[in-house]
Chains A and B, each alone.
Chain A
Amino acid sequence: MFKTVIPFGPQHPVLPEPIHLKLTVEDERITEAIPSLGFVHRGLERLADLRDFHQMIQVVERVCGICSMIHAVCYCQGIEELMAVEVPPRAKFLRVIWSELHRIHSHLLWLGLFADSFGFESLFMQFWRIREKIMDINEATTGNRVIISVNVVGGVRRDLSHAQIKWVLSELQMIEQDIKRLENTMLSDYTIKKRTVGKGLLTAPQASELGAVGPTLRGSGVAQDIRQTGYAAYGELDFEPVVETDGDCYARCKVRFRETLASIDLILQAIANLPAGETRQKVKGRPEGETVTRVEQPRGELLYYIKANGNKNLERLRIRTPTFANIPALLTMLPGMWLSDVPVIVLSIDPCISCTER
């Protein structure tokens, strides 16, 4: 059989961001996939030389446009650990609330894009309509829609008032209803199942061997979620990772769908247990030493390695984003699949290429 090499991307209708895959196909079956990156490499890690460690918060928020809040939480946790700063409990709970809001809107964005990838455009619109309400909550409580810039070393910059909490609760109730209304379509529609069940298989041993993270890992039946380590206030909340065992695109889709509902539950818990008090601890001095911190992003585990030497600039900042870890898993999912399934499989790991290349 003839081997043909087909370039997929960097510009492709299904990809919001540029990644190039060199697909070797036999007939219409894929036999090999080689990625090439570097289209949006910005060298943000090196900006630590030019910006001081407070200003870096705004820089790391811009690593990813969707989960910016969670990047900042991870970075601040690392610096706080190095400077031995104790974050006030209220700030920890507020970090959870905004992180989970980000997770919901990221998953809703993905669910919409995923529906779009197999051509279900009206479902895409439905999810994005719900997402808009989350953006409104972000804007009303923090001042910005996506890159909300509320984290500082030692706490958060904004607080939730009583009126705001009441309003957020009523909005969340509506959002939960709206999402549940789409559950029947997203998880049991014949056409959706036809496009996703059995596509892009990844078994549990493969997933952990290839270092897959987040919903890609949990969709294969490995119950690992960094939120289990109890960073911020997650340790005080009742939390179970969402797991599916099939390891195909459909399982990953179910994980993300159920995680949006789990996130709403987490926010409700966090609001119910929100302690009173300060939201920000004044910090003095400069960080020194090295540390590794991890948080759970919508796409999976995020790791920051921070090395500081007592100067106002950090010595080294290393960011390992979840998509970077999921690309090897993607490359093993593709061989054996039809060419027409590639967009669905590529999207099923929720690729965030700006994250990957930083």
Chain B
Amino acid sequence: MFKMTPNVLRNLISKKATRRYPRQVRPPYESVRGELRNDSTQCNLCGACALKCPSQCITVDKTAGTWTCDPFACVYCGVCVDTCPAQSLTQKREYRPPAVERQTIFMQGEPRKKTKTPEAVESG
């Protein structure tokens, strides 16, 4: 009997384990895999991220020059960030806030020039 009493008394005098969340937010840790960002100035639309993504949430349209990601399908594994050859993909330290409607992360890049040789297009 009364085995729990010391714990109960300790809890009475110790500080709270929880936070008053929306008003008080713990700063995120250094290397948290948060929301995905793509830097349009560095992205060369190679499509490596779309190929490697395990949840196939990234689509790259090379002719239109668009890069889209469905953040609701993303599993935040960071594989795309690891594989990006141009290092244009980064993950923020914050998680995506809850949303009331469907969102997409969209980026309009420079479409491929038709004047390029086919080899150049493929090597990019």
Residues on the B chain within 8 Å of A147, using CB: 75, 77
B17 at the interface (CB under 8 A from A): yes
User: Is B29 a contact partner of A139 (Cβ separation < 8 A)?
Assistant: yes
Residues on the B chain within 8 Å of A283, using CB: none
Residues on the A chain within 8 Å of B53, using CB: 55
Q: Knowing A58-B79, A122-B8, A189-B3 touch, does A139 contact B52 (C-beta < 8 A)?
A: no
User: Is B54 a contact partner of A59 (Cβ separation < 8 A)?
Assistant: yes
Chain A residues touching B, majority SS: helix
A132 at the interface (CB under 8 A from B): yes
0 or 1 for each of A173-192: is its CB under 8 Å from B? (1 = yes) = 00000000110110011100
User: Is B52 a contact partner of A144 (Cβ separation < 8 A)?
Assistant: no
Cα A41 to Cα B92 in complex, Å, equals 34
User: Is A122 a contact partner of B4 (Cβ separation < 8 A)?
Assistant: yes
User: Is B33 a contact partner of A144 (Cβ separation < 8 A)?
Assistant: yes
A195 at the interface (CB under 8 A from B): no
A interface, size bucket: 20 to 34
Q: In the complex, how many angstroms separate the beta carbon of A184 from the nearest chain B beta carbon? A: 5
CB neighbors of B among A165-215 (8 A) = 181-182, 184-185, 188-190
Q: In the complex, how many angstroms separate the beta carbon of A160 from the nearest chain B beta carbon? A: 11
User: Is B7 a contact partner of A55 (Cβ separation < 8 A)?
Assistant: no
B interface, size bucket: 20 to 34
A286 at the interface (CB under 8 A from B): no
Cα A20 to Cα B91 in complex, Å, equals 41
A158 at the interface (CB under 8 A from B): yes
Most buried by B among A54, A122, A149: A149
Which of chain A's residues has its CB closest to B55's CB? A58
Q: In the complex, how many angstroms separate the beta carbon of B63 from the nearest chain A beta carbon? A: 25
Residues on the B chain within 8 Å of A181, using CB: 6-7, 10
Residues on A facing B (Cβ under 8 Å):
51, 54-59, 62, 122-123, 126, 129, 132, 136, 139-144, 147, 149, 157-158, 181-182, 184-185, 188-190
9 A-B pairs in the complex with CB atoms less than 8 angstroms apart: A51-B54, A55-B54, A57-B54, A143-B33, A149-B33, A181-B7, A182-B7, A184-B6, A185-B3
Instruction: Please name the 4 residue pairs, one residue from A and one from B, whose CB atoms are nearest each other, closest first.
Output: A58-B54, A143-B33, A55-B54, A140-B29
